[in-house]
Amino acid sequence: MPQYILALDQGTTSSRAIVFDQLGNIKAQAQKEFHQLFPRPGLVEHDAQEIWSTQIGVAQEAITQARLRPSDIAAIGITNQRETVVIWERASGKPIHNAIVWQDRRTAGWCDQLKAAGKEELIQQKTGLILDAYFSGTKVKWILDNVQGAREKAEKGELAFGTLDSWLVYNLTGGELHITDASNASRTMLYNIHTGEWDDELLALLDVPRGILPEVRNSSEVYGETAEGLLGSRIKIAGIAGDQQSATFGQACLERGMAKNTYGTGCFLLMNTESDAVPSQNRLLTTVAWQLGGERTYALEGGVFVGGAVVQWLRDGLGIIRSSGDVETLAASVPDSGGVFLVPAFVGLGAPYWDPYARGSMLGLTRGSTAAHIARAALEAVAYQSAELVAAMEKDSGVTLRELRVDGGASNNDLMMQFQADILGVPVVRPKITETTALGAAYLAGLAVGYWQDTSEISAQWQEERRFEPQMEPAERGARLAKWKKAVERSRAWEDADA
């Protein structure tokens, strides 16, 4: 039996490859950044060919670094930035336009038209998503409408659409497979999460021809093998999941009510709701977490647009720290934020507000406020925003959170993780292996080829590195959350009020 699993982690700013062993430990890893393209304000694109070349490059590099032969790899698992769209010619395999990235806002106006036409509820009922330019469907329509001859070619079946997982699998198999998994399909606004099928009514509404869509498969199964000559020998491709769902699997949040929060540029919090696609009354997303053996597991998801990015702003915008690592020391030099509240609504507010017109604000400043108070308020803001997501999830699901598993770069900030536990009133637990996104893809691929036997073996492998127990009194927690909500209200609809 080959001894290792290769995970391909195709992110928004870089492509990575990590080789894992049977215990989930990292044997080797490689990473390469690629260009971010900004044709105009609000528009974000990637060169899909560059993504493919960086991804195959780091795959080869990781195998070499680990001093392995390709035959030592039991399977490949893929995880990817979600919602980003590529459309390519079936005959040549060439993209007809740059990939349109999840952050891109070019279709916001059309989303407003759909809302005005009363389509928001229909979309939420079928897809579990909020009607927003964030998701893939409106991006697909934009490419078909704006690239010369694209719609005619699409109607003839000459084009293929995919999220980045589809694009990678297509290239890895030499054009043999045009597939996606249920977790990625559930982010397109074209897929019915209840039937598990592409939805004709949604396809008609968004004007997307069925012939360009990939086949939807399980998140863990042997789909095929890498093309001859690509990696030295043919390797099974056996796992696919969108990045946040993959991180949830990698964190072994495999039972109802278990939740993880990834602290990256933004924060993504997912709670497992098992076979129950819980409709959100609190502006969260209902999404497919993964599909195993034809059975879908669902999750509630909330996103914070500005998480770790607030620390970058302290460094690059305000210049009060030299490097991101300095923020914890500065914030820890004061016992609290001195009544300062920072709402980092730099690009509007995500769940549960979905207010694109909110803007950042700092409140409670006095002559005694210092850079240290601002730094502490910035870290606390990330925790407050995450706490609001947890509260919304508990209301929607009827499940009380027992603990929050955390990962991502900012999860290494002990001060912030302690405050997160304090403001939630439940333990925050950091695992030994924090590369949970890639690990989840590895687990999904390994399960399909018998490298790991079942999900209970995966749960048993998960190990905590540190547990942060809440220390704040309930009365103080309530008072702080009330003040935070007051600060958020002052930030909301700022652009509207100005107009």
- Residue 261 pairs in a beta bridge with 269, 406
Residue 336 has phi, psi (to 5 degrees) of -160, -175
Residue 245 amino acid letter: Q
Q: How many CA atoms within 13 Å lie on the side-chain side of 409?
A: 11
CA distance 395 to 187: 23
Quick check: 327 and 374 in contact, CB under 8 A? no
Class of residue 92 by CB neighbours under 10 A (exposed 0-12, middle 13-18, buried 19+): exposed
Nearest to 342 by CA among 358, 360, 324: 360
CA distance 305 to 311: 13
223 labelled as ligand-binding?
Answer: no
244 labelled as ligand-binding?
Answer: yes
Q: How many C-beta atoms surround the C-beta of residue 118 within 10 A?
A: 8
364 labelled as ligand-binding?
Answer: no
Class of residue 121 by CB neighbours under 10 A (exposed 0-12, middle 13-18, buried 19+): exposed
Count the helices and strands in the chain (H runs, E runs): 17, 23
First to last CA, the chain: 65
312 labelled as ligand-binding?
Answer: yes
CA distance 162 to 240: 13
What are the Cα distances from residue 185, in Å, to 90, 284, 487? 20, 18, 37
> Which residues are CB-neighbours of 164 under 8 A, at least 6 positions away?
10, 51, 80, 81, 84, 86, 99
CA distance 206 to 199: 11
Q: How many C-beta atoms surround the C-beta of residue 348 within 10 A?
A: 19
322 labelled as ligand-binding?
Answer: no
183 labelled as ligand-binding?
Answer: no
CA distance 232 to 226: 10
294 labelled as ligand-binding?
Answer: no
109 labelled as ligand-binding?
Answer: no
Residue 31 has phi, psi (to 5 degrees) of -145, 140
14 labelled as ligand-binding?
Answer: yes
Measured on CA atoms in the order 205, 210, 214, 219, is the torsion positive or negative?
positive
Residue 492 amino acid letter: R
CA distance 133 to 150: 21
276 labelled as ligand-binding?
Answer: no
The helix/strand/coil state of 232 is coil
454 labelled as ligand-binding?
Answer: no
265 labelled as ligand-binding?
Answer: yes
Binding residues for ATP: 12-14, 265, 308, 312, 409
Binding residues for glycerol: 82-83, 134, 243-244
Binding residues for sn-glycerol 3-phosphate: 12, 82-83, 134, 243
Binding residues: 12-14, 16, 82-83, 134, 243-244, 265, 308, 312, 409, 413
Binding residues for ADP: 12, 16, 265, 308, 409, 413
